[in-house]
């Protein structure tokens, strides 16, 4: 389902296709055959300028195809729900050291820590209606899927759960943001290069939801940021909070 912005961008993209596939325009092609030989030099200059103008227009329109307006900044006091598992709950650190509390301190938002250690996407899906009803958040940060992958839950089931979570958030009138969890990888841990599971990008694109793709993976790739093989320590949560804040600032929700 396309949004109005997507429709505008698609229209602009079609204009680019027209510029590229129908160049030069029919009137110019016809005029070329009617020009006398003596005007070759001036016509060549005219053609060069015309091509340059069309090239600049095409570049501008292509850039517009990939652009997206920022979201409105959320003021201090806004209710934000962080829905997740132990990475959100702050396993191994004090509650005030976990990234939701740190994000609240940075932004002035009221960030509800809705993380439960051990939760899978289906567990969080069952908890979500009560959380939405109780807290009525304007923004929900969804950081789930890690336990699904560790327990080898079929990926299709995880995707379906996350899609239902995003749809439920939108139906409640809140804005969702998806945070990707890195896929389990021995090589990624050894070489300190964990990366997000690919299905997060698929879901984010399909549901037109902002994706914070590498915030968690970057922290868990650094042994100095981890309290155990799966969880950030206090320094890791501080860095994770910074990563998430920077991403939310790029999206438009957060401001310095």
Q: Domain coordinates of the chain in residue numbers?
A: 4-66, 79-251
Fold held by 79-251: Rossmann fold (3.40.50)
Vertex 133, ends 132 and 135: CA angle to 5°?
65
Q: 49 vs 46, 52, 54, CA distance in Å?
A: 5, 5, 9
Q: Which residue has the higher pLDDT, 256 or 22?
A: 256
Among candidates 191, 199, 242, which has minimal Cα distance to 221?
191
Report the predicted TM-score, pTM, of the whole model to 2 decimal places. 0.74
Summarised one tens digit per residue, pLDDT across range 67-91 is 568 999 999 999 999 999 999 999 9
Question: What is d(CA 104, CA 23) in angstroms, rounded to the nearest whole number?
Answer: 54
Please give the span between the terminal C-alpha atoms of the chain, in angstroms, as a whole number.
33
Enzyme catalytic residues: 86, 228, 231
Contacts for 250 with CB less than 8 Å, ≥ 6 apart? none
pLDDT per position as a tens digit, 13-71: 444 444 444 444 444 444 444 455 455 445 566 566 666 666 655 454 444 444 568 99
Least confident piece of the model among 128-142, 144-158, 188-202: 188-202
pLDDT surpassing 70 at residue 164: yes
Secondary structure of residue 195 in the 3-state scheme: coil
Higher confidence at residue 192 or residue 108? 108
Q: What is the pLDDT of residues 185-225, one digit of tens each?
A: 765 655 577 999 999 999 999 999 999 999 999 999 999 99
């Amino acid at each position: 389902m396309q949004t109005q912005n997507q429709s505008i961008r698609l229209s602009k993209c079609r204009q680019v296709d027209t510029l590229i596939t129908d160049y030069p325009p029919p009137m110019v092609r016809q005029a070329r055959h009617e020009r006398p030989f003596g005007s070759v030099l001036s016509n060549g200059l005219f053609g060069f300028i015309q091509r340059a103008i069309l090239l600049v227009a095409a570049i501008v329109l292509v850039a517009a195809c990939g652009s997206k307006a920022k979201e409105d900044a959320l003021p201090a006091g806004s209710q934000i729900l962080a829905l997740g598992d132990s990475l959100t709950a702050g396993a191994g650190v004090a509650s005030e050291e976990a990234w939701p509390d740190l994000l609240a301190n940075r932004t002035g938002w009221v960030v509800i820590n809705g993380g439960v250690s051990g939760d899978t996407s289906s567990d969080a899906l069952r908890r979500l209606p009560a959380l939405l009803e109780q807290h009525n958040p304007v923004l929900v940060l969804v950081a789930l899927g890690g336990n699904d992958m560790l327990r080898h839950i079929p990926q299709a089931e995880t995707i379906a759960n996350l899609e239902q979570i995003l749809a439920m958030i939108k139906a409640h009138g809140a804005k969702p943001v998806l945070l990707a969890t890195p896929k389990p990888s021995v090589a990624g841990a050894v070489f300190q290069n964990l990366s997000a599971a690919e299905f997060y990008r698929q879901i984010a694109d399909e549901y037109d939801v902002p994706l914070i793709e590498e915030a968690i993976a970057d922290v868990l790739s650094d042994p100095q940021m981890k309290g155990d093989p799966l969880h950030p320590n206090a320094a890791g949560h501080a860095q994770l909070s910074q990563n998430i804040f920077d991403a939310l600032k790029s999206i438009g929700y957060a401001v310095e």
